[in-house]
Amino acid sequence: LLQERLKTEMERIDPDTSEPIVAGTDLTVPEIKYEYLDHTADVQLHAWGDDLKETFENVAVAMFGYMTEIDTVEMKDTFSIEAEGDDMEGLLFHFLDEWLFAFSAEPFFIPRKVIITEFDKENFKIKSTGFGEEFDIQKHPQGTEVKAITYSAMQVYDDPEKQQHEVYVIIDI
């Protein structure tokens, strides 16, 4: 089912092109707004942002940062995913699971930056594009393998009045 739902698009970038990615795309690497928390036999990702969209983007990068030294990833290619869920936790689960699938199977894509292009918080649908490249063991130090995303102790906080936009996700390693 995951493969049926997975709608992906990868664009190879011509190194001779003056505009390798869509003109105007901000490829500034955002400040780190995530941390890794100890958890028995697993790792808990904690990410935050100025809004829930940025928080989701940050937790995706956090997951990949656990898998390799993220600063070794060049933004040469793009890869897009779509996900949906029955609620916000389900959406977060499927969003991360789609990104994990993009890394674990062809094209073995690892993004340095993730931008959410559509975020429907009422119908729990998301579209996003990653900017990165194919994972290369010669270039990217191998970190810890992420086997799966879990619902265990998953938390999503989205309170604009308190300016609290955080997620906690346990990944199975």
- C-beta separation of 79 from 130 below 8 A: yes
| Phi and psi based region of residue 99 (left: phi greater than 0; alpha: psi -120 to 50; beta: remaining) | alpha
Pairs from 151-154 (Cβ < 8 Å, separation ≥ 24): 151/89, 151/93, 152/42, 153/44, 154/89, 154/92, 154/93
**pTM assigned to the model:** 0.80
Helix pair angle (52-67, 88-104), 10° resolution:
30
Which pLDDT band, with edges at 50, 70 and 90, does 2 fall under? Answer: very low
Q: Residue type for 63, please?
A: M
Per-residue pLDDT reduced to its tens digit, 3-21: 443 333 344 444 443 345 7
How far apart CA 55 and CA 73 sit, in angstroms, is 20
Per-residue pLDDT reduced to its tens digit, 98-151: 999 999 998 899 999 999 999 999 999 999 999 999 999 999 999 989 999 999
Per-residue pLDDT reduced to its tens digit, 26-80: 888 888 888 877 766 688 999 999 999 999 999 999 999 999 999 999 999 999 9
Torsions phi, psi for 36 (to 5 deg)? -110, 130
- C-beta separation of 98 from 62 below 8 A: no
